[in-house]
Every structure is written in structure tokens, then in C-alpha cells.
Structure 1
């Protein structure tokens, strides 16, 4: 089940890259000095991507655990 462990690690890294992208996007949005409404709109679009990245990361970690158990 080596392939499941490595595939899960790769999927987790993709999720982690998405989370890092979200962090950088939020810090860039705050640095732009937008008004409240524009900042809220931009952050709402980032939240969906953040949740998706967390989901992908969790799926990858599940794959790793499953590969270790098998």
C-alpha cells in the first residue's frame, strides 16, 4: 500500500498549497486598504476556496492513514 501513502501525501500537499494561497490572498486583500464592503466580498470568495483546500488536505491525510493501516 505504498502507493496509497505517497498519493495521500501528494493530495495533502495540494491541499496545503491551497491553504497557503488563501493566507496570502487574505493578507494581500487586507493590505490593499479596501473599504468594508469590498473587503467582505473578496474574503467571501476566498472562504469557499479555503474550505475546499481543507477538505482536500483531510482526504489526503485519510489516504495516508488508510495506507498505513493496510
Structure 2
């Protein structure tokens, strides 16, 4: 069951890194003072990455919990 815990931890860490990338991309766009259309376009690009990162984090945390319960 340790494999589940460590695998879940790795997935959560990858998801957390993805969330940080999303934050950095949005901060860069805000600092660039883009117009409304350009900002919306950048946000449209970031949303799928954000959702994927959140998905990985949640799945990873679920694997950690299952590994702890079964372990």
C-alpha cells in the first residue's frame, strides 16, 4: 500500500506544479496589461490546464487516502 501512497503523493505534486504554472501564466498576463480580448484569450488557454491540474491533485489525494486506509 505504500506504492499507493507514494504514487498519490507524486500525482498531487504534479497537480500542484500545474496549478503554480497556471498562477504564473495569469500573473504574467495581468502584468502585461493586456486588453480585454487578449486577457480572455489567455484565460481560455489556462482554464483546461487548471482543470487538469486540479484533477490530478484530487486523484492523487484520493490515492493517498485509500493507501492509508488499506495500509
TM-score class normalised by the smaller sequence: over 0.9
Q: Secondary structure at the match of 2:23?
A: helix
> Please, which runs of 5 or more residues in structure 1 have no aligned partner?
none
Corresponding residue for 1:68?
A: 68
* Runs of 4+ with >3 A deviation: none
TM-score (norm 2): 0.96
Corresponding residue for 1:43?
A: 43
Corresponding residue for 1:58?
A: 58
- Equivalent pairs counted in the alignment come to 70
**Post-superposition offset of 1:31:** 0.6
Corresponding residue for 2:25?
A: 25
Q: How far apart in 2 are the matches of 1:38 and 1:8? A: 36
**Post-superposition offset of 1:57:** 0.4
**Post-superposition offset of 1:33:** 1.2
> Please, which runs of 5 or more residues in structure 2 have no aligned partner?
none
